[in-house]
């Protein structure tokens, strides 16, 4: 895998004021511009979205999420450099997989891959179908440590997680991005976890038809932008079963995030992918983006991927197929019988129509969540901008040179009188803003200045 670091130097001549024109490099394939980070930290979200599982000590930063993005798509995080997080969590499928089981470095997964859209907007802090990860941070390195998925398990002939740290430490791009994010270039499991979790939590989708309606009126009123069928489906989703005649979905898939209720138990799905039963699954991804903007399914659904379509899901809840010891009481009727909603075909279609209004569009195409590598796995980082140093003439016969560079790195400021031989003026350590600002005297002879970086 070839990678290269673009060590662009801003060269200035004292007499001429250089161009400040900027090329838009942020969405160029194979290029990550660290001098102009994409916005992950201050994305707009609707006012009614309040649930979050972001811990106070791992708030999203643009630098951290950018590092997380690169790692999410980097196949070198797997034992034989063939599998990345994105192999099983694909942007085109709402960061899930349309295969029932996903392919890892040593076979296929034991459960269906989960869509990651809006994973951060929930009160549930635990992750995985069976909630075995206490936080998203702790979740993120489990696939790397998994023998089947990415193969740094340290058992069964696999390299250990420490070997991955050694591998990443030898890659100059990671040296730069860890320093940029954390202040020093040291790579630790906790830093990998924090940045991957920041990227995953940044993946948000709030531009659906549902959001257009919800921005105007509360859930319990008909949405002006909905069809009658969609409004009827919304009422079925929200209302509990019984005299009101609802389907009771909102009790466990809580709007407006449609995130799982932390107290949910088993939902009547008992089959396991490998055969046998599995009653441990009490978490669901957000029900947003079950289909893509073109209506194409992002399923199959449930931990065993056993329900291919939304219609299959609705048939499941309409008549829970059997009892089990962990079945959630909300799926029982008074007296203890398992749920039989007796929905008509028209009601099932209404519910399905409503579920399809929960689909956004930007999350499928926004470059900030896309693969930063080229098809041949190349990646260039821009650390110093090309042609983007500005020069200001001051009253006291000095010039101020300003340059937006990547944060938390140390640059060399060099000068030359012939553009061939360069001498170090000073090392410039830039802080979290990444802004280089230096004042130089205007002298009789022409002097050239440049900023350079060596990892
Ligand atoms: C080989 C396929 C595969 C790879 C590679 C993979 N995952 Fe997953 N991911 C899955 C499957 C399958 C599940 C559900 C597993 C379970 O619950 O037992 C899952 C679950 C998750 C969840 C839980 C979501 C939730 O709502 O609870 C997150 C977060 C996640 N993966 C992130 C990642 C990250 C980050 C990486 C890369 C470091 C990654 N995955 C690599 C297949 C994969
Ligand atoms: C008692 C809580 C509960 C209720 C009520 C409930 N669900 Fe679920 N739902 C769950 C749990 C838990 C899962 C994950 C189960 C699994 O995969 O084993 C789930 C999974 C799903 C999934 C699969 C999500 C995915 O990404 O694969 C869909 C779709 C879904 N539910 C829709 C509905 C609808 C529609 C209703 C109302 C008719 C409903 N649910 C009612 C708890 C509930």
Q: Residue 441's CB: how many other CB atoms inside 10 A?
A: 10
Q: Share the mean pLDDT of the chain.
A: 92
Calpha distance 119→137 (Å, rounded): 12
What's the Cα-to-Cα distance from 332 to each of 36, 287, 351, rounded to whole Å?
A: 54, 22, 20
Given the CA of residue 284, which atom of ligand 1 is nearest to it?
26
Ligand 1 neighbourhood includes 144 CB (under 6 angstroms): yes
| Cα of 110 from ligand 1 centre, angstroms | 11
Burial grade of 172 (CB within 10 A; 0-12, 13-18, 19 or more): middle
Under the banding of pLDDT at 50, 70 and 90, the label for residue 222 is very high
Q: What is the pLDDT of residue 334?
A: 87
Q: How far is Cα 245 from Cα 338, in angstroms, rounded to an integer?
A: 16
Spacing of C-alpha 259 from chain mean position: 16
Atom of ligand 2 nearest to the CA of 285: 26
Residue 269 near ligand 2, beta carbon < 6 Å? yes
Distance of CA 61 from the midpoint of ligand 2 (Å): 32
The pLDDT of residue 12 is above 50? no
Closest atom, ligand 2, to C-alpha of 266: 12
Q: Report pLDDT digits (tens) over 122-140.
A: 999 999 999 999 999 999 9
**Chain centroid offset of residue 53 CA:** 14
- How remote is the CA of residue 89 from the centroid of ligand 2, in Å? 20
Rounded CA separation 34/453 (Å)? 13
Backbone angles phi, psi at 45, to 5 degrees: -135, 155
327 vs 83, 133, 266, 300, 311, CA distance in Å?
36, 22, 5, 22, 22
283 lines ligand 1 (CB under 6 A): yes
Distance of CA 143 from the midpoint of ligand 1 (Å): 6
Give the nearest ligand 1 atom to 129 CA. Answer: 17
Q: Whose CA is nearest to atom 43 of ligand 1?
A: 88
Find all residues with CB under 8 Å of 116, minimum gap 6, and list them: 89, 94, 95, 96, 200, 203, 285
Residue 4 confidence (pLDDT): 40
Tokens 């230096």 sit on residue: 438
State the distance from the centre of ligand 1 to the C-alpha of 85, rounded, in angstroms. 7
Q: Which atom of ligand 2 is nearest to the CA of 282?
A: 12
Q: Is 94 in the pocket of ligand 2 (CB under 6 A)?
A: no
Q: Which ligand is nearest to the CA of 139?
A: 1
Q: How confident is the model at residue 20 (pLDDT cuts 50, 70, 90)?
A: very low
Ligand 2 atom closest to Cα of 305? 27
Task: Report the range of poorest mean pLDDT among 23-37, 40-54, 64-78.
Answer: 23-37
Question: 401 in ligand 1 pocket by Cβ < 6 Å?
Answer: no
Q: Which pLDDT band, with edges at 50, 70 and 90, does 7 fall under?
A: very low
- The closest alpha carbon to 318, from 295, 288, 300, 341, belongs to 341
């Amino acid at each position: 895998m070839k990678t290269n670091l673009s060590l662009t130097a801003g060269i200035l001549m004292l007499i001429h004021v250089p161009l400040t024109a900027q090329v838009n490099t942020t969405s160029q394939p194979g290029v990550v511009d660290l001098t102009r980070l994409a916005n992950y930290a201050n994305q707009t979200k609707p006012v009614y979205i309040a649930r979050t599982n972001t811990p106070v000590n791992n708030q999203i930063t643009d630098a951290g999420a950018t590092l997380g993005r690169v790692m999410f798509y980097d196949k070198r995080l797997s034992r034989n450099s063939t599998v990345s997080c994105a192999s099983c969590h694909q942007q085109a499928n709402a960061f899930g997989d349309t295969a029932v089981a996903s392919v890892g470095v040593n076979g296929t997964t034991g459960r269906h891959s989960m869509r990651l859209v809006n994973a951060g907007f929930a009160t549930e802090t635990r992750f995985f179908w069976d909630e075995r990860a206490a936080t998203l941070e702790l979740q993120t390195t489990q696939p790397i440590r998994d023998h089947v998925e990415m193969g740094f398990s340290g058992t069964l002939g696999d390299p250990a997680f420490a070997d991955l740290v050694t591998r990443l430490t030898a890659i100059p791009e990671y040296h730069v991005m860890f320093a940029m994010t954390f202040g020093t270039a040291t790579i630790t499991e906790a830093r990998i976890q924090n940045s991957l979790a920041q990227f995953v939590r940044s993946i948000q989708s709030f531009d659906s038809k549902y959001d257009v309606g919800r921005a105007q009126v509360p859930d319990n009123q008909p949405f002006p932008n909905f069809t009658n069928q969609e409004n009827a489906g919304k009422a079925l989703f929200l209302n509990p079963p019984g005299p009101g005649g609802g389907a009771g979905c909102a009790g466990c898939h809580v709007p407006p995030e449609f995130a799982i209720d932390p107290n949910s138990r088993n939902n009547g799905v008992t089959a396991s992918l490998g055969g046998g039963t599995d009653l441990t699954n009490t978490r669901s991804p957000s029900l947003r983006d079950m289909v893509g903007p073109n209506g194409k399914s992002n399923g199959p659904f449930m931990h065993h991927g056993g329900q291919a379509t939304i219609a299959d899901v609705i048939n499941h809840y309409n008549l829970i197929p059997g009892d089990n010891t962990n079945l959630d009481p909300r799926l029982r009727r008074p007296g203890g019988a398992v749920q039989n909603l007796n929905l008509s075909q028209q009601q099932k279609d209404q519910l399905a129509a409503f579920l399809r209004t929960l689909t956004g569009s930007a999350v499928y195409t926004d470059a900030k969540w896309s693969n930063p590598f080229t098809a041949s796995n190349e990646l260039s980082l821009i650390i110093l901008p090309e042609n983007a140093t500005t020069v200001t003439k001051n009253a006291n016969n000095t010039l101020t040179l300003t340059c937006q560079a990547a944060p938390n790195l140390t640059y060399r400021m060099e000068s030359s009188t012939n553009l061939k031989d360069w001498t170090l003026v000073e090392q410039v350590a830039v802080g979290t803003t990444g802004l280089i600002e230096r004042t130089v005297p205007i002298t009789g002879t022409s002097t050239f200045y440049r900023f350079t970086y060596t990892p």
